[in-house]
Structure 1
Amino acid sequence: MSKPKFQTEWEEIDEEYQQLQETHKIYRQKLEELTNLQSTCSSAISKQRKCLKDLRHSLTRGAKTCDEKDLELITDIRTQIKEKENFFFDMEAYLPKRNGLYLNLVLGNVNVTLLSNQAKFAYKDEYEKFKLYMTIILMFGAITCLFFLNCRVTDEIFNFLLVWYYCTLTIRESILMSNGSRIKGWWVSHHYVSTFLSGVMLTWLRSVPAVLLPERLLVPAASTGREESAGPHSGFTTQ
């Protein structure tokens, strides 16, 4: 007697489930091994950095009293120390590390390290696409503000988009830098300043732009002039 179809399907699903459990068990073991290896590498790098720092101080003291031959050796060792420190920077790009002050304030102490080159390149590509798309959107937003020059709503929406855009840029750039991207400091600083200025524009008082427009100054001035001329002498005739 043949098995019912649903029983056959259930047995296949149950067999795949058992395989899945075994695969997940292996995954958790590998993940634990990976975590231990990351901790070991991070500790070893910290120890190496400290030893190289102490050695650099010893070389500085020794360079003052050594002869020419030893001075050449010291110079060569210093060059190798610098190469090792650069190599440590590349190694740390694949290891979890504490976030900087800005990421700690925004995200907390969350691990943002991407473990593979493919993931790093994909995130960098998303960052570039985000900049391109938002630049196009903000360009159309600026044109819209030109057509609705005296509309407070469009100005606030545009300035809110600017604040959100630059805040998001600074966060993404901080994550990229944590993953080894050599983004220039002036580029990131420019976005911090832009975030601050956009926030100032967003929270600007409603009355301030009116002061900056000459045509709006003329109406109150003319009204004030008429009130003053009609003030103390109103109702009297000159002789």
Structure 2
Amino acid sequence: MEGTMSLQRCQAEWEEIEQEYQQLQETHKVYRHKLDELTNLQTICSNSISKLRKRLRELEENLYLCTKPSNQNEAEDIKSIWKKIKDKQHIFFDMEAYLPKKNGLYLNLVLGNVNVTLLSNQAKFAYKDEYEKFKLCVTVILLLGAITCKFLLNYRVIDEIFNFLLVWYYCTLTIRESILVTNGSRIKGWWVSHHYVSTFLSGVMLTWPDGLMYHMFRNQFLAFCIYQSFVQFLQYYYQSGCLYRLRALGERNQLDLTVEGFQSWMWRGLTFLLPFLFFGHFWQLYNAVTLFQLAGHRDCKEWQVFMLALMFLVLFLGNFLTTLKVVHHKFQKNKGREAKTE
């Protein structure tokens, strides 16, 4: 009797499972159908954007060919069309952030033709926040690592581990930033190139053989790494606060990142960051000068010395000139506002 009851329960449970399975099949069919619809809509939107972009380029060419406006009204009309074209280009950029697109050359080389577009805001923000936490975590590890190498463990193998960590960190940043740019982040210009140069510099540092030249520069390099990690730690909290306020006001893109430099949106509330940044920039120049002097040393035979000097010089010029440009642009903008109010 008990065996019969158990069999009946099993049969009843199987019937419930079968019903749920049938529901799952129906739901999955609907999902597949919606997925096909979504793919078709993505294709239609991507093609439409490409077509409209082409027409906008043609319109721009026609505007260039236009003769000089004969009166003020024509000049205002041309200016209005130019503004509308730029607005449309920004809108297309935002639209494409939610559409699958081909990876750039770098992502193709690293990941292959894998779709890295995150289609929901939740997924984009989660990836961006994870990126910021990753930067903060590794910055703290690099700070502790540089302090350990400089003050506690003066061993070449420990230095190599630290330099390898730098190479891995900057390589990872270049990949993650490329994915974020694909998904609508507006980070661009020098602050993207900066990490590629830093990756190459760290790789050259990793291959520098042990010797007199290496030990003549070692302590200066480690002290620079300690200072750089400290400044990046300050930047993370300062820039995060700026971005939070600007996003709350609706003035910044949700995927804007903290960067290892200075941008115009960081101007608000600026009290102490610029002196730290400029000091770091000139320390890079000091590193370049030191390495150029070492490259001319009679005992210097390593190619890494001259190459590192060039890389530190490139970093100094890129960081210093970009920061200076942003500060100058902001001053000019503020002067323009004051002139208008007067």
Normalization by structure 1: what TM-score? 0.82
User: Residue in 1 aligned with 2:52?
Assistant: 48
Whose Rg is larger?
A: 1
**Pair 1:137-2:141 in alignment:** yes
**Pair 1:24-2:8 in alignment:** no
One of 155, 176, 182 as aligned partner of 2:186: 182
Task: State the 1:184 CA deviation.
Answer: 3.6
Amino acid at match of 1:62: C
User: Residue in 2 aligned with 1:148?
Assistant: 153
Change (3 A) 1:85 1:13: same
Which range moves more in the overlay, 172-181 or 19-28?
19-28
User: Residue in 2 aligned with 1:8?
Assistant: 12
Task: State the 1:65 CA deviation.
Answer: 6.2
Task: State the 1:101 CA deviation.
Answer: 1.3
One of 179, 204, 211 as aligned partner of 2:208: 204
Which range moves more in the overlay, 119-128 or 71-80?
71-80
What is the distance in 1 between the residues matched to 2:17 and 2:213? 69
What is the distance in 1 between the residues matched to 2:161 and 2:190? 28
Task: State the 1:148 CA deviation.
Answer: 1.1
Task: State the 1:67 CA deviation.
Answer: 4.4
What is the distance in 2 between the residues matched to 1:122 and 1:78? 36
User: Residue in 2 aligned with 1:191?
Assistant: 195
What is the distance in 1 between the residues matched to 2:82 and 2:37? 35
Report 1:67-216 matches (<5 A).
67-146=71-150, 147-149=152-154, 151-207=155-211, 209=213, 212=216
What is the distance in 1 between the residues matched to 2:96 and 2:53? 12
Q: Are the equivalent residues in 1 in contact too, given 2:208–2:214 (CA < 8 A)? A: no
What is the distance in 2 between the residues matched to 1:186 and 1:192? 10
RMSD of aligned Cα (Å): 1.9
Which range moves more in the overlay, 39-48 or 182-191?
182-191
What is the distance in 2 between the residues matched to 1:82 and 1:168? 33
Q: Deviations over 1:185-224 (max 9, x none)?
A: 22222211111111111111233556738xxxxxxxxxxx
* Ranges in structure 1 where 5+ consecutive residues have no aligned partner: 214-239
What is the distance in 1 between the residues matched to 2:17 and 2:133? 41
Residue identity over aligned pairs, in percent, reads: 68
SS at match of 1:98: coil
Q: Are the equivalent residues in 2 in contact too, given 1:167–1:195 (CA < 8 A)? A: yes
Normalization by structure 2: what TM-score? 0.59
User: How many residues matched?
Assistant: 212
Task: State the 1:69 CA deviation.
Answer: 3.0
Amino acid at match of 2:153: F
What is the distance in 1 between the residues matched to 2:14 and 2:213? 72
Task: State the 1:66 CA deviation.
Answer: 4.8
Amino acid at match of 2:158: T
